[in-house]
Amino acid sequence: MSKHVTRQALVTTIGAIATTGIALQAHAAMEVSLGHTLSSTSHYSVGADAFKETLERLSDGAFTVTEHTSGSLGGEREMIEGLQIGTVDVVITSTGPLGNFVPETYVLDLPFLFESYDQARCVLDSELGDELLEKMGEHDLTGLAWSENGFRHLTNSRREVATPEDTDGLRVRTMENAVHQEAFRQMGARPTPMAFPELFTALQQGTVDGQENPITVIVATNFWEVQDYLSLTGHVYSPAIVLGSPILLDGLSDEERDWFAQAAAASAEATREEVSRLEREGVALLEENGMTVKTDIDIAPFQQAVEPAYEIFTSQYGTEMLERIRETAGSC
């Protein structure tokens, strides 16, 4: 009898251990990969930290987030493609290459579309911004939140730029974005699209003379090491976006998807706060590191010069979205 009890107890114990092992495996934390192209000290990383903290807290550790910085998962275009095939889970990216996947977003890259941060944020946080996020779903992407890079400015290693004519002949790296390329072509520059991870070396080697990015990116990437001149042209407001992979998100419960949405919202808020801080403090930092900064720029000639770039968008996609953005911005 005692042997029978012992064997039964052993079977019961083994069964309990196996059941516990299955339960632990079922509840093991799911690792979420989050990629971006900037450094671990950038505004993107500030947003990534907020995303990680929020998702891990809301899920009580059911999800853990691993941040991949400095383009270690590829350039922005490659990472967006990774979302579509499920090799990347979440990406914080500029909208530069996004138009290649979701053409409706090209409108956000039109020069001088927004007059201020308040206006741009107001439009992106409106129903119109939500509508553009929903468009991602038509292209095997999930739009989680609009984040931010900031107003873009021009740097170069050859000369001070105060007028469109001063850009004549400058080889300027642009994003892989037809609207941006046409804008610089109209100013007389030689736009040279390339992925961001290649840019610092290209500037260092003289493959290109200059580039254009917000203060946030110029600071985060230490461009003062390879660029002498900064012109505060503010020619384009550059949003960023937090994108998710439908391959991951579509398999989650409604509650879990809501955790991701809340994490993305926290990420966007933290990023915008960091952009605002760097806009206040960044120019002085760049000057301290040796850059010559041109602040008193007459924007009107630049606006006139890049006007034909609007035709790149409107000839293909019409004027409806542009008009709606202007109407929404006017009420902000």
pLDDT tens track for 129-154: 999 999 999 999 999 999 999 999 99
Is a pLDDT exceeding 50 seen at residue 4?
no
Does residue 13 lie within any of the structural domains? no
Residues with Cβ within 8 Å of residue 148, at least 6 apart in sequence: 43, 121, 238, 239, 240, 268, 271, 272, 275
Is a pLDDT exceeding 50 seen at residue 1?
no
Does residue 6 lie within any of the structural domains? no
Confidence of residue 22 (pLDDT cuts 50, 70, 90): very low
Q: Which residues pair with 32 in a beta bridge?
A: 65
Does residue 59 lie within any of the structural domains? yes
Rounded Cα–Cα distance for residues 117 and 329 (Å):
11
Does residue 95 lie within any of the structural domains? yes
Does residue 8 lie within any of the structural domains? no
Confidence of residue 257 (pLDDT cuts 50, 70, 90): very high
SS3 content of the chain, % helix, strand, coil (to 5): 55, 20, 25
User: What type of residue is 53?
Assistant: E
- The total number of residues shown for the chain amounts to 332
Please give the pLDDT value at position 324.
95
Phi-psi region of 222 (alpha: psi -120 to 50; beta: other; left: phi over 0): left
Does residue 160 lie within any of the structural domains? yes
Domain range for 159 is: 30-330
Range in 60-64, 75-79, 229-233, 312-316 the model is least confident about? 312-316
Please give the pLDDT value at position 27.
54
Please give the pLDDT value at position 23.
40
272: domain CATH number? 3.40.190.170
pTM of the model: 0.84
Rounded Cα–Cα distance for residues 16 and 4 (Å):
18
Rounded Cα–Cα distance for residues 45 and 318 (Å):
36
Is a pLDDT exceeding 70 seen at residue 19?
no
Is a pLDDT exceeding 70 seen at residue 15?
no
pLDDT top residue among 190 and 220: 190
Is a pLDDT exceeding 60 seen at residue 209?
yes
Confidence of residue 176 (pLDDT cuts 50, 70, 90): confident
Does residue 72 lie within any of the structural domains? yes
For 120, phi and psi rounded to 5 degrees? -65, -45
Range in 23-32, 33-42, 43-52, 198-207 the model is least confident about? 23-32
Does residue 17 lie within any of the structural domains? no
Query: Looking at the 3D structure of the chain, how many domains does it have?
Result: 1
